[in-house]
Amino acid sequence: MTDSEPNPRPPLDGVRVIDFTWIVAGPTCTRLLGDLGAEVIRVENQQTLDSIRFGRPHPNGFDPPDSGAMFNWLDRNKRSITVNARHPDGLDLIKRLIRISDVLVENYSSRILENWGLSYEEQQAESPEIIYVSLSGFGHSGPQRDYSTWGPTAQALSGLTSMSGMPEAPEPAGWGYSYLDHMAGFTAAAAITAALRHRRETGQGQWIDLSQVETGMALTAPATLDFTVNGRRYRDTGNPPGNRSVWPQAAPHNTYPTAGDDNWIMITCTSDSEWEAFCEVSDHPHWRTDARFATLPARLRHQDELDENIGSWTAGQDGRALMQRLQSADVPAGVVQNGVDLVVSDPQMKAREWTVTRHHPVIGEHLTDGLQIRYSRTPAHRDLPGPELGEANQYVFGDLLGFSDDRIAELQLNGAMG
């Protein structure tokens, strides 16, 4: 391989991760590590399976635990083993696996692994170089360390939820499905890559203690700064409603209906030249001379009438065609896309091969998202479907740990491979 040729190995090739994660936050972290080439070994217990294995949707004719769409999305590029950590032989299996692994990730409440006999100190006794990642609601210290949380509750406690809401509504609305779960997972994955670099340079492992609530608080920085400096609350009634701009240099600035069911387009004009171009495209040149809309200050004062006029016109337009016409005239505009748009209609996503076809041994071929990151030097990545429960038992316990078939059968019978 020359300096100009890409490396055929993915970025995290050679890194082995023990995955004690469930639901969304932890699996998001280990999924990204697996996407980038790490060997991720998911540790499961048949008596207490991750509820995501049973979550909808499931393809018609298929039943859990291996066919769920969300599970196979969150847990691709991973292997699955079944172990009962509360069985002495099961705990021994995990400790043996720690000795030949680089990272252990879990997102249980703070005392679970400690109660199993797998605290950081006990992991270090097996492998001083292990990188242990605990991704809990409040972290593993402080008076609230033992509180259990879910993504939406941690998000509310962090202040993120209070930043959302419909115009004029007193209550917050939340940020989609478990937004903070995904953000915490990405944050943990970034922290792991930094810890791997530190270990490469020093030989030292470490414990990464990540609080999901604090991750959310970091995302509230603009609102927090505005309150501490200016005393303004993020959702004060003085803030503009809906999708209007907080920055007082844009009008129009909103989403408008387009032809079809629940179709919308975002249109923004930040200068008089953009507004004039919009008037030409919309075939409403008289709006340029209307005293309510002729200048930016006037448009800002009359945004209700402005939005009503624009919405009445856009409602009969094809959204994607209108977006192209406006963009061609240098007017900022973009359709509000849904999942079908992204997978089927978006030419940019097609060109970037954002969706790929994968084969799953249970549900067959299906479309899913590919790797969102493009590396010029290390473009390769893993391409494994979500794992069937326990499909890697023979590989891990036999090939990696060196147990005989008879010993593996014994461990299955005595409940250690739960």
309 and 358 assigned to the same domain: no
Edge-to-edge, what's the strand order for the sheet holding 253-258?
253-258, 263-268, 333-335
pLDDT of residue 8: 85
Separation in Å, CA 259 to CA 181, 263, 312, 372, 411:
35, 7, 11, 31, 62
Instruction: Give the domain range for residue 300.
Output: 253-336
pLDDT of residue 219: 93
Indicate the number of domains in the chain.
Answer: 2
d(CA 129, CA 143): 29
Separation in Å, CA 318 to CA 163, 249, 274, 366:
32, 28, 21, 30
d(CA 404, CA 327): 65
165 and 126 assigned to the same domain: yes
Weakly modelled stretches of the chain, pLDDT under 50: 1
pLDDT digits (tens, 9 = 90+) for 346-392: 889 889 888 888 899 999 998 888 888 999 999 888 889 999 999 99
Spell 384-395 as b/e; 16+ CB within 10 A means b: bbbbebbebbee
User: Is 192 within a domain?
Assistant: yes
Tracing tokens 């326990």 back to the chain, one arrives at: 390
User: Is 26 within a domain?
Assistant: yes
170 and 80 assigned to the same domain: yes
127 and 57 assigned to the same domain: yes
Tracing tokens 């890697």 back to the chain, one arrives at: 392
Its pTM stands at 0.91
CATH number for the domain harbouring residue 80: 3.40.50.10540
| Known catalytic residue at 383 | no
d(CA 270, CA 300): 11
CATH number for the domain harbouring residue 282: 3.30.1540.10
135 and 262 assigned to the same domain: no
264 and 185 assigned to the same domain: no
Last residue of a domain, one of 336, 366, 381: 336
Tokens of 319: 């959204």
Cα dihedral 153/157/162/164 (nearest 10): -40
User: Helices 151-158 and 179-202 meet at what angle, rounded to 10?
Assistant: 90
User: Is 360 within a domain?
Assistant: yes
pLDDT of residue 167: 62
**Strand pairing of 364-369 and 355-360?**
antiparallel
User: Is 6 within a domain?
Assistant: no
User: Is 306 within a domain?
Assistant: yes
d(CA 210, CA 140): 8
83 and 211 assigned to the same domain: yes
d(CA 169, CA 66): 42
366 and 291 assigned to the same domain: no
pLDDT of residue 175: 77
**Which of 75, 181, 369, 399 is an active site residue?**
181
Tokens of 416: 């250690």
Tokens of 261: 């069911």
215 and 71 assigned to the same domain: yes
d(CA 76, CA 67): 12
274 and 378 assigned to the same domain: no
Last residue of a domain, one of 285, 310, 336: 336
Last residue of a domain, one of 336, 367, 389: 336
pLDDT of residue 111: 92
37 and 183 assigned to the same domain: yes
Cis amide prior to 257 (ω within 30 degrees): no
pLDDT of residue 353: 86
User: Is 343 within a domain?
Assistant: no
54 and 185 assigned to the same domain: yes
User: Is 159 within a domain?
Assistant: yes
pLDDT of residue 4: 64
d(CA 82, CA 418): 5
User: Is 275 within a domain?
Assistant: yes
